[in-house]
Each structure stands twice: as structure tokens, then as C-alpha cells.
Amino acid sequence: MTTNTVIALDAMGGDRAPGIVIAGAALARERYPNARFIFFGDEQQVKPLLDKYPVLQASSELRHTPDAISADLKPSLALRQGRNSSMRMALNAVAQGEAACVVSAGNTGALMAMAKFVLKTLPGIDRPAMASMVPTKIGESVMLDLGANVECDAENLVQFALMGSIFCRAVLGITEPTIGLLNIGTEELKGHDEIRTAATILRERPVPGSFYGYVEGSDIAKGTVDVIVTDGFSGNIALKTLEGTAQLMSYFMRQTLTSSFSAKLGYIFARGAMQKLKMRIDPRRYNGAMFLGLQGICVKSHGGTDHVGFANAVGVAHDLVAHNFNKDISEELARQYGVLGTVPALSETELPEAPKLTDGSL
Amino acid sequence: MTTNTVIALDAMGGDRAPGIVIAGAALARERYPNARFIFFGDEQQVKPLLDKYPVLQASSELRHTPDAISADLKPSLALRQGRNSSMRMALNAVAQGEAACVVSAGNTGALMAMAKFVLKTLPGIDRPAMASMVPTKIGESVMLDLGANVECDAENLVQFALMGSIFCRAVLGITEPTIGLLNIGTEELKGHDEIRTAATILRERPVPGSFYGYVEGSDIAKGTVDVIVTDGFSGNIALKTLEGTAQLMSYFMRQTLTSSFSAKLGYIFARGAMQKLKMRIDPRRYNGAMFLGLQGICVKSHGGTDHVGFANAVGVAHDLVAHNFNKDISEELARQYGVLGTVPALSETELPEAPKLTDGSL
């Protein structure tokens, strides 16, 4: 008998919420029969949608939340004003042990700020990072940070390397992941001081896996390393440039295959193969940015995704839970830093002053 | 009668030099009949190659240089040790008014260091930038900096905006170019301080064209703006991620169209259109990074390119000369900063201590 995985969902987050959240959960429920959902959102809007999916409804619970975090609300304000929001209450469910993970397609900065406050960072981790899978020539790599931390010091980068590596081991089953630091040249002299210092640390005090050295922007698609480590500014630019270029190439391809009668005829014969390619490079497949380094699993779905993309983000969260990512990372942190990596009980203290946050978004 | 454009070529720079330099020049000579070349390189190697191209040879001069700058030589060492190198002597020819521009496929950091020292920056420009054309959904945009300046302050970014905009006007004929600052979100709060300050300056003290605001990595391929302004670190990562992703997509496409009998058959019909697409996205088309902000035209070819790519880099240099880019930028700098934008005579002074350089490379 398998145990159920309870997933908290922010039903009000995302451009087309709550519709895509409910439909996405229904799809995820088909893929993961052991998944149970707690929806946090406006009952009047969510209930009629849930009624359409009896199987989902039977394995779900709906909790009414009076507020929702708007897409453009500042993280600091979201922290102060969003106590009764769907996003906050979904996070609370993880902190209180009711749910194993939370997925939201809402305001990225607000989600990161709240996740840090509600879930707390893991002992040994200074700053959580956003991580995502990226397609490569030979498979997939994980890249982090993608925008949570605009400025990073060397130690932050080393911690990102550690988290990325443990993710590869725990979730992807890569026993000896390779780690690269994103830089503008492979020579030792290049790049910012913090990157050079991080490289020195990674050589002297290795994290699990093996440190490859510097990688460049072109190495991402090549799949040169399993883990691409970078600050949130560069990571965000790299990820969005990658997405934009892939879309542009797909557009050029469509244009090409409709540009003449002969090309259209060719497309008819190649259609089956082209469909497979389309599925392979479907950006929805890579939806679901993981907030790593928190005492709880939190996944951010792209705000503009549809139900298929949202279901994939739910899958990312499910996999992190199923593979005990946070247990593995806690144990490794304890080994590396001698800190206790267990989750202390959440004390519902007064809200502190809004922490200094970088408003990174995906 | 058109005047000739004399182009100085570093015959020894690049992975496959001098072969691709001579063959590339021959191709460029066909495209630009008014071009004249001065080759700087090892006579024993270059002479036999030139003998194969009688038309090129008739409009060229070969000057023997005893040294060549190796691909991995530090810029500071190149400055001190490279006085008799092909790269340095080609740059000298521009400084001394013998050539209108110089093209090299050699060591990027060394070329930038030498170009700064030999050609000097334009009055009003603190730091030259590397710029390149990038393909977009609706045409092409220019992006800078691409690696010459790892750290940039707000004023540097504003100057990059100005140079990019003048380039669009002078060379591309866009009368009102749009300018965007590469950032990780379009909200006002995002990004580094220097980007926010640059945005404030660009709103208060406009450069030619119109300031659009922030753009994200995904806007590059969309062609949201004509000029994408960024620091050399982010620009280099964006450009290389773009190149890598485009190559990956082409690879996926080739795989797809050979994956089954039916797909192969389809390719036969679509071949004509596919060839056009291949030409459109050929990275060699975008070869030739411009060093903007110097008192002389200097273009860096990709080190690994072939003769077709090198010919395109020569074309980039030729266009900058033909459209009087440096005259336009000097006049605009005089308007903006009240500085005299004319080229002072080069005084062959003693070499100073190696300047503090960022070893950015393309």
C-alpha cells in the first residue's frame, strides 16, 4: 500500500486561475493516483469547477480563503497584507504538516517571500534558490538560481551547487552529478570575484558530485554539466533567453514548413515526427520552478501556463516529495556544516518587519 | 567614382588562420569591389595563400609581422609583449590612418586591450563596448555589451545605449531606434541598482531614439527593442545561451527529419524551404562583433569561424566605415557631453602599465 501525498494548491494564483489549477490538478490526479489535494481559494469560484471533476473532488478538500495575492503586489506588502490569502494559507498547510508540498502559479516574489517566512530556510542554507530543469542535447540539466537572489556571494553559489547536486542524486538518480559555474569564459581569470571564489571553495571543499569548473551560456544547451550554478540575475536572463530563442526557432520552423506548396507537402509526411519534436520541446514540460533550501517543498508554476503546464508543476512537487529530497539535503547539510537539518516546529510569532527581498520573478 | 576602403586584417588570428582570413577576404572582395586589404602576418604562411587569389592579391598588400598573439595570452601580457604582433600592427595601421578599419579573429581580450591602447576611446565614452546583431522574430536587433566590461555602472550603460542607438541610425537606417535595458523583470523594482539608475538617466536625459524601459531575456528573440543594453557579463551569457539554444533546436530538427522513412520523405519535399531557413539562422551571418566607442573601427570575428563567417565580419567593418558611424557618434557625443569628438593624432608614447582590464571574450 502506498501512502498518499497531500499537495496544497493555491487555487487563486496564475493568469487563468482558478480554472487551470483545478483542471491541472485533475490531470495530475490521473498521473499520480496517490495524490490528495487541498485547494485554497474562493469557494464560490472553486466549488463549481471542482464539481466538474468527481474523481478529483473525491480526493480533495476545499478551504475557503477570503483574499488572493495580485500578480503585481510587492513581496513586502504581500507578507504584511496576505495573511488570509490563498497563497499564504497553502504555505501554512505545509508548515503545519497537513500537506507535503505546495504549488502556486501566483506572484513569484510574494511566494518566495512568504515561503521563506512561513517555511523557513534549512539550517545551513543562507538563501533559498529557484531551480528548474532545462532541455539539453543529451537530456536535461538543472539550473539555479533563476531570480530569487539578484546578488549572490561565493557561499550562496556553493550552497546552490550543493542543493542542485543533491537534487540530481535524490530525484534524477544521477549518482555523480557534474556541477558547473556559469561564467563568461572558461579561463581562470574570467568573471566576477564571487564566481572565482566559489570555484576555489568548490575545489577545496567539494560538494557531492564532481565540480567541472566554469561553463558558458552555450554549455547549457550542450548539457556539459548536470547542475548549472549561477546568481539569480544571470540565471533569469539565461533561462528567458533560452525560452525566447526556442520559441523563435519554432516560429521560424512553422514559417518554413508553410512557405511553399512543396514544403507543406513535406510537412504532411514529416508530421508524425514533427509532433514528437513539438512534445519534446513543449515549454509546459519544463514548467515548475522549485524553491530549494526551504524546510518544505514549494513549487512555482509559470503564471501564464495552462492546465497541462500546471499539472507538470504539480508533478515536480510530487517528485521532490516522493524522492525525499528534503531529507537528503538536510542530511548532506548536516555532514557539510555540522548543522541539524531537521524541521523545527513552526511558531506562529508576530510578523517581523518585511525582510529585505529581491523581487526576482520567473 | 567610389573611394576605396582600406581594411587592415590580422592574418594570424583565429583557430584556422591564416587560411580562413585570406579566403574570407577573397569572398569579401567579391562583395565589396571597393575594398582594399592590408594583411598583417607571417609572410611565409600568407604569401602562398594569397597567390591562390589573383584578384584579391591585386588589391592587397602583405606586411610581414614576426609575432602572433596566442589565443590564451592574457591581455596585459599581449599589451606588453605584442608590439610586433600581427594584431597590434593591424591596429596601428588604423591609428596611423593607413586603414579605415581592422578585423581580427584572434584573442578577444587582447584585441580589446590593444584597441583601447592604440585607438583610444572616443571623448565622452568611458569604456568601449562589444556589440553584435542578433536575429529576432521581426528582423534584427543590436545587443551590447557582450563581454568587454564585466562590471558596468549606470553611466556606462547609458553610453552603450547611445552608441547602440547611433549605430541603428547610421548603419541600419532606423530613424527612431527603441532602446531597452536587459533586466530580470519589467517592474520598476527589479534588478541591480546600476540598471535602475541607468533607467532614470535615460528618462531624464534621453539619448537619440526612444527609451522603451526594461526588457527581459525573452524579449531579445521577440525583437521588442532595436537596442538591447546590458553589462558585459549578462550580455555574454545571453548571447551564448541564444547561440547554444539555436544550435540545439537545429540539432533536434535534423534528428526529427531523419527519424523515420516518412519524415525523410517529408524532408525531400521541404528541402528547398529548409535550406532557406538554414541560411537565415546561419550563425556565420551574425559573425562580427563591433568594438564601439573607439577612435577607429575594430571588428572581432569569432575565432572558430570559417571563411564565410570571416567575410561577414569584414562586411560589418566595411558597413561601419561606409556609413560614417564614428563621425555620427562623435557628433552626438559632442552634443550630449560638449566634448570634441574628433580624432587626435596618435602619439606613439611609451607603453603604460597594463590597464585594469576585464578579460571578457566572445
Q: What gap in Å lies between CA A40 and CA A28, rounded to an integer? A: 17
Q: If one looks up domain A131-284 in CATH, what number appears?
A: 3.40.718.10
The percentage of residues in chain B with a pLDDT greater than 70, rounded to a whole number, is 91
Interfacial A residues in 201-240 facing B (CB < 8 Å): 216-222, 230, 232-234, 236-240
Output the DSSP codes for A143-201: EE-SSS-SS--HHHHHHHHHHHHHHIIIII--SS-EEEEE-S-SSTT-S-HHHHHHHHH
Q: What gap in Å lies between CA A64 and CA A104, rounded to an integer? A: 16
Right CATH for B1-125+293-362 from 3.30.70.20, 3.40.50.1000, 3.40.50.10950, 3.40.718.10? 3.40.50.10950
Query: Torsion-angle region of residue A282: left (phi > 0), alpha (psi -120 to 50) or beta?
Result: beta
**A144 within 8 A of A220, measured Cβ to Cβ:** no
A163 SS3 class? helix
Q: Considering chain A, what is the average pLDDT of its residues?
A: 89
Within 10 angstroms of residue A81's Cβ, the number of other Cβ atoms is 15
**Contact yes or no for A218 and B234 at CB 8 A:** no
Q: Which of the given ranges, A99-103, A333-337, B328-332, has the highest pLDDT on average? A: A99-103
Name the least confident of A6-20, A27-41, A211-225, B188-202.
B188-202
Question: What is the model's pTM?
Answer: 0.89
Q: What pLDDT does residue A178 have?
A: 97
Q: What pLDDT does residue B34 have?
A: 94
Of A30 and B253, the structure prediction assigns the larger pLDDT to: A30
**B59 within 8 A of B35, measured Cβ to Cβ:** yes
A227-239: buried (b, 16+ CB within 10 Å) or exposed (e) per residue?
A: bbbbbbbbbbbbb
Q: If one looks up domain B132-284 in CATH, what number appears?
A: 3.40.718.10
Of A284 and A97, the structure prediction assigns the larger pLDDT to: A97
Q: In 3-state terms, chain B is what percent helix, strand and coil (to 5)?
A: 45, 15, 35
Q: What pLDDT does residue B277 have?
A: 84
Cα torsion at B173, B178, B180, B186 (round to 10°)? -150
Q: What pLDDT does residue A189 have?
A: 60
pLDDT reading at A357 higher than 80: no
**B150 within 8 A of A194, measured Cβ to Cβ:** no
**B264 within 8 A of B257, measured Cβ to Cβ:** yes
CA A319 from centroid of its chain's CA atoms: 12
Q: What gap in Å lies between CA A181 and CA A130, rounded to an integer? A: 16
* Ranges assigned E (strand) in B183-329: 210-215, 227-229, 289-292, 297-300
Q: Which of A182, A221, A257 minimises the CB distance to B237? A: A182
Report domain extents, chain B. Answer: 1-125+293-362, 132-284
Nearest by Cα to B341 from B208, B163, B175: B163
Q: What pLDDT does residue B187 have?
A: 61
Of A33 and A254, the structure prediction assigns the larger pLDDT to: A33
**Contact yes or no for A267 and B271 at CB 8 A:** no
Q: What gap in Å lies between CA B259 and CA A153, rounded to an integer? A: 46
**Contact yes or no for A241 and B244 at CB 8 A:** no
**B106 within 8 A of B95, measured Cβ to Cβ:** no
pLDDT, mean of residues A213-232: 96
Q: What pLDDT does residue B344 have?
A: 36
Interfacial B residues in 72-91 facing A (CB < 8 Å): 72, 74
Q: Can you state the angle between helices B232-256 and A261-280, rounded to 10 degrees?
A: 110
| Chain B residues with beta carbon closer than 8 angstroms to that of A266 | 265-271, 273
Residues of chain B short of pLDDT 50, as ranges, are 1, 340-362
Q: What pLDDT does residue A334 have?
A: 87
Name the least confident of A168-172, A337-341, B48-52.
A337-341
